[in-house]
Amino acid sequence: MTRRVAVTGIGCVSAIGNTAPEFWASCLAGQCGIAQIRGFDMTGVRFQNGAQARDFDPSKHFDDKQLIPLDRFAQLAIVAAREALAQAQLGLTDEERARAAIVTGSCYGGKTSEDAGFASLYRDSQPRLHPMTIPRLMANAGASALTLELGWQGPVWTVSTACSSANHAIGQAYWLVRHGLADVALTGGSEAPFTYGSLKAWEALRVVSPDTCRPFSKGRAGMVLGEGAGMLVLEPLDRARARGATVIAEIAGFGMGADAHHLTQPSAAGAARTLRLALADANLPPEAISVVNAHGTGTAANDVTESSAIRDVFGANLNNLLVTATKSLHGHALGASGALEAVATILGLQNQCIVPTANFQEPDPDCNVPLCLEQKPWPHEASVSNSFAFGGLNAVLVFQR
């Protein structure tokens, strides 16, 4: 069984909007969500800026008792999922609910709870940890909480592949629906990486920018951490049409592969190979693609190798192609970033325009790709969204109108 797969609901929480419409308005305006990190003492951290979901207020979405077992990353996942489901209005039968899938991505799960707990244990010599520490920190906490809220009983799991987590999750959910292993799926990613311990660990890796994120620009100085969640509701295109639902876009293909090259250095060959796998899965030629939502982290290494991979795959087609890097707006939300980028890419298809890349200073000859710097109308039928993780794990999604 092979079915076309429609996206009929989207939701997100991010530094540039607490709902998909707010996020989209910020994307169109090129509104960058990067600012001074708040919430704890940043003394002694070499970088000071991040893209926090500052306006997210858990008490608007959960009562005190519901919050006890929920780390911030799980709260974000649930709130984004509720928005996507409210839009999709799936109207599930009992049979469909029993087979409904949830596949989420997260790089490191309930880090906020783990960090706070271990600080109290190691630093403050507290004799015991909160009993909800384990349920809060497990990477599947968001997915499991959603099953309880929704009563969905089909395949539910969580993918953790660092910065590619959400793309791997969405790709697998897409394949489940395409091949009839589930009738509907909720999928995306969430991440809440702003803890002192986590920021010190990123500092040590020397990849975080001291000011802002400038993908593909000369003078770029690294990535900027972000926070948030993105969720998509997937169902067979025929089901969506039969019930008169609005099809926001289709997922047309998915490719994944490993560089087998280096722990942290990306590989142009690995990225290009994964792009080609995704296009083959979509049964689309490179010239069908008019938008690349790049991994575009703003690090020295990624942007050069990704440019090289894009030129390798789309070389003959670069006049018809625009590249955008929305991490310059919403930050690098790690396991959620692919989901936020999917929302931006899907809304670009629906609205036939392209989201600008912010903070660009001047061209870098080593990053020779047609970068979109201003929001503009851009008629297009298909787009790809790249995620390339530390550890060399690549995942590329293909979307079409």
Partner 1 sequence: MSESVSPEVLARVLRTLAETQKLPFEQVTPDATFEQLNIDSLDGINILFALENEFDINIPDESARLVRDVRQLAQGVQKLVDEKPAPAA
- Contact residues toward partner 1 (CB under 8 A) are 63-65, 68-69, 127-128, 130-132, 135
Q: Is 27 a catalytic residue?
A: no
Would you say 4 or 130 has its CB closer to partner 1? 130
Nearest to 254 by CA among 105, 399, 103: 399
Interstrand relation of 322-324 and 291-293 (parallel, antiparallel or unpaired): parallel
Q: How far is the CB of 117 from partner 1 (least distance, A)?
A: 12
Nearest to 189 by CA among 328, 73, 15, 20: 73
Q: How far is the CB of 121 from partner 1 (least distance, A)?
A: 13
Q: How far is the CB of 108 from partner 1 (least distance, A)?
A: 23
Q: Could you tell me how many helices (H) and strands (E) the chain has, helices first? A: 14, 16
Would you say 65 or 123 has its CB closer to partner 1? 65
* Active-site hit among 168, 295, 330, 380: 295
* Active-site hit among 32, 107, 163, 372: 163
Q: How far is the CB of 124 from partner 1 (least distance, A)?
A: 13
Q: How far is the CB of 133 from partner 1 (least distance, A)?
A: 10
Would you say 44 or 127 has its CB closer to partner 1? 127
What is the distance between the alpha carbons of residues 299 and 301, in angstroms, rounded to a whole number?
A: 6
Angle at 87 between CA 350 and CA 171, to 5 degrees: 65
Q: Is 261 a catalytic residue?
A: no
Would you say 113 or 387 has its CB closer to partner 1? 113
Please report, for residues 71, 93, 95, 126, 332, the alpha-carbon distance to residue 98 in angstroms, rounded to integers and kept in the order given. 27, 9, 5, 43, 35
Q: How far is the CB of 328 from partner 1 (least distance, A)?
A: 42
E runs forming strands in 213-300: 217-218, 228-236, 249-258, 291-293
Residues 6+ apart with CB under 8 A from 285: 279
Would you say 68 or 300 has its CB closer to partner 1? 68
Q: Is 163 a catalytic residue?
A: yes
Helix/strand/coil percentages in the chain, nearest 5: 40, 20, 40
Amino acid code (one letter) for 46 = R
Rounded to 10 degrees, the C-alpha dihedral 285/357/45/218 comes to 90
* Active-site hit among 168, 330, 332, 380: 332
Would you say 41 or 63 has its CB closer to partner 1? 63
Q: How far is the CB of 63 from partner 1 (least distance, A)?
A: 7
- DSSP notation for 49-73: EEB--TT--GGGT--HHHHTT--HH
Nearest to 8 by CA among 216, 196, 186: 186
Q: How far is the CB of 130 from partner 1 (least distance, A)?
A: 6
Q: How many CB atoms lie within 10 A of CB 181?
A: 16
Would you say 131 or 210 has its CB closer to partner 1? 131
Nearest to 149 by CA among 30, 208, 231: 231
Would you say 69 or 189 has its CB closer to partner 1? 69
Q: Are 291 and 385 in contact (CB under 8 A)?
A: no
Residues 6+ apart with CB under 8 A from 272: 308, 309, 312, 313
Catalytic residues, by residue number, are 163, 295, 332
